[in-house]
Homo-oligomer: A and B are copies of this chain.
Amino acid sequence: MIYAGIDLGGTSIKGALVTDKGEILRKKSIPAGAERSHREVVTDMANLILDLMTEEGLTPEEVASVGVGSPGAIDPEKGEVIFAANFADFRNVPMRSIMEEILEMPVYVDNDANVAALGESMFGAGEGCRNCVALTLGTGLGGGVIIDGKIFSGAFYGGAELGHQVIVVDGEPCTCGRKGCWEAYSSATALIRMGKEAALAHPDSQLGSLAGEGLAEMEAKTVFDAAQAGDEVAQGVIDVYIKYLAAGIVNTINVFQPEVLIVGGGVSAQGEKLMEPLREKVQQEVFGGQADKTQLRAATLGNDAGVIGAAMLGIE
């Protein structure tokens, strides 16, 4: 059987046809047009699935279901997007019913971070495990929790906000209004902020010169590249970054104790340069000497995690 998935983002709508083994048969991306009415956006999502089916020569009978990973607060039971900040008209959007009307197929909707975690847990770094936590280190710090093979998001679908646990009371301000959230220390944005602060304090460092005029080219990768080239200032930034990242990961393991904890998002592209020191730090601190139980792995599906996980909502 074939499953269709949609990964809705602020800039693009990605669609794919996926086998029950997690293999992508065909995928396609169109602009999100986030400034439009929700009906226009959701109609485009449905039409993208129809296009993919036509191109692949599939009849509606050959596609089991359509799953959608959407940003924002989602009610998966009703298939509604309660609110998504990046879209002009995304408030109480009956996404499932609009799409089912067009497609005449079962449609499932869940949060994008949850859906990406489901994808990684089934066919990525967590393949074969039933209990898994996936982090996305990007603009923010997103988390998805899979318990017993299913997405966990609390009693009211607003849980699993792993990035919004305070690890430093009265610490750095967070976009959520609290101070000292893990996201404010361990997102890619936070690493860039720390990189810029260090480069300003040490303008003659390699980090400073790699970051370019006005530090405009500072990225997470810049800090890792400078450290790799032997720059002590950059290495200092990475040491601090990993210390905070490890603190939140140990918190998460102490609470969820998953089989696998997956680190994804832009920063995870650094692979073992990130993962090796991170594992070392985490293993020192996990409660009850149970550090060897949870495996720490870098994500493997990259940008496809969302669309694969979305398709799998129908299997789950």
Contacts and interface: CB of A to CB of B under 8 A. Distances in A.
Interface of A: 73, 129-131, 147, 152-162, 164-169, 176-178, 243-244, 247, 250-251, 253-259, 285, 287-288, 290, 293-294
Contacts of A257: 153-160
Closest 9 CB pairs of A and B: A154-B257, A159-B257, A165-B251, A131-B155, A161-B254, A156-B293, A164-B287, A164-B254, A158-B290
B155 A293 contact: yes
Instruction: Say what secondary structure dominates the interface of chain A.
Output: loop
Q: Which of A169, A253, A288 has the most CB of B within 10 A?
A: A169
Given A154-B257, A159-B255, A177-B285, A169 B244 contact: yes
B256 A288 contact: no
Contacts of A244: 169
14 contacts: A154-B256, A155-B257, A155-B294, A157-B257, A158-B257, A159-B253, A159-B256, A161-B254, A161-B255, A161-B287, A165-B254, A167-B169, A168-B168, A178-B285
A116 to B, nearest CB: 17
A154 to B, nearest CB: 3
Q: How many copies does the complex hold?
A: 2
A177 B284 CA distance: 9
B147 A152 contact: yes
A161 B288 contact: yes
Contact of A290 (B156, B168, B255): B156
Contacts of A130: 155
A243 B165 contact: no
B168 A288 contact: no
A167 B164 contact: no
B288 A158 contact: yes
A255 B165 contact: yes
A131 to B, nearest CB: 4
A206 B158 CA distance: 44
A73 B129 CA distance: 23
Contacts of A156: 257, 259, 290, 293-294
Contact of A287 (B158, B250, B287): B158
